[in-house]
Amino acid sequence: MLLIHRTKTLLTILLVVAGGSCLRAQSPGSTVEINLHDHDSKPYYFGITLGGNLSRFHTQFHPQFLQHDSVLVAEPTNSGGLSLGLSATARISNRFQVRFNPQLFFMERNIFYKLTYPYNNNETEVVKKVESVTMSFPLQLKFQSDRIGNFRVYTLAGFKADIDMASNARAKRAEELVKIEKNDYGPELGIGFNFFFPSFIFSPEIKISNGLRNIHARDENLRFSNVFDKIQSRMIVFAIHLEG
């Protein structure tokens, strides 16, 4: 958690510095030097991505949940994570671009349980952690505004395919686990900002990335898992793209 907090702090500082630099460059009375003036004519360009995410499960209870007296509450909670990736962007027109942005996500999604009978250490409240190392392959269409000096706004919409390399769906000793399938897919929607510097583009971005597939590998014999019928992924991603 300390690493996640430090990463978020670093991303915030970078955003403030970038925004301040562009505002000073475009303040009244100053001469704006257009950085990377020919960048819009490039047919394609590449970049790297550093990000943080807030993720959780979206759940639906199984009809048998009401018949269980051992679990009173089963509620997903938000958890933070990190991501690293690459990007490749191709120009379609002055307004539209298509971007492929594969990323590696390190995240943890938690479920809070309140039990009728004491669990380990005589506790009636338990948090089960589901750790994931996910390869995400999103393909996105970007719609961008006119460039204002060294600044631009864009929106994006796309579709992703995910592979959870830490999936526990096939775990044999899983009495205390919530089993999650390996593959997922779903839509993405977001907004970002381009700050043009002399040698690169600094692009902070926020997007919603949701899974459509039921990733719950339900097992009737697992008490922490059998209360759920359906589990889907929900994630908000804050990313910094450094592009050239």
pLDDT at 20 over 70: no
Q: How far apart are CA 27 and CA 4, in angstroms?
A: 34
User: Mean pLDDT of all residues in the chain?
Assistant: 87
Phi, psi of 74 (to 5 degrees): -140, 105
Name the token pair of 193.
């900002």
Give me the helices (H) in the chain, please.
Answer: 2-25
pLDDT digit string (tens) for 21-75? 444 444 455 577 999 999 999 999 999 999 999 999 999 998 877 777 788 899 9
Nearest to 194 by CA among 185, 204, 184: 204
What pLDDT shows up at residue 6? 46
Which of 11-20, 147-156, 172-181, 213-222 shows the highest mean pLDDT? 147-156
Domain boundaries, the chain: 2-243
Q: Which of 89-98, 136-145, 173-182, 228-237 has the lowest mean pLDDT?
A: 173-182
pLDDT at 174 over 60: no
DSSP 93: S
Q: How far apart are CA 74 and CA 229, in angstroms?
A: 12
Dihedral angle, C-alpha 39, 43, 45, 51, nearest 10 °: 90
> Which runs of E-coded beta strand occur in the chain?
44-61, 71-77, 79-91, 96-100, 103-115, 125-144, 151-164, 183-196, 201-210, 228-243
The CA distances from residue 41 to 36, 190, 204, 229, 242, in Å, are: 10, 24, 22, 51, 18
CATH class of 2-243: mainly beta
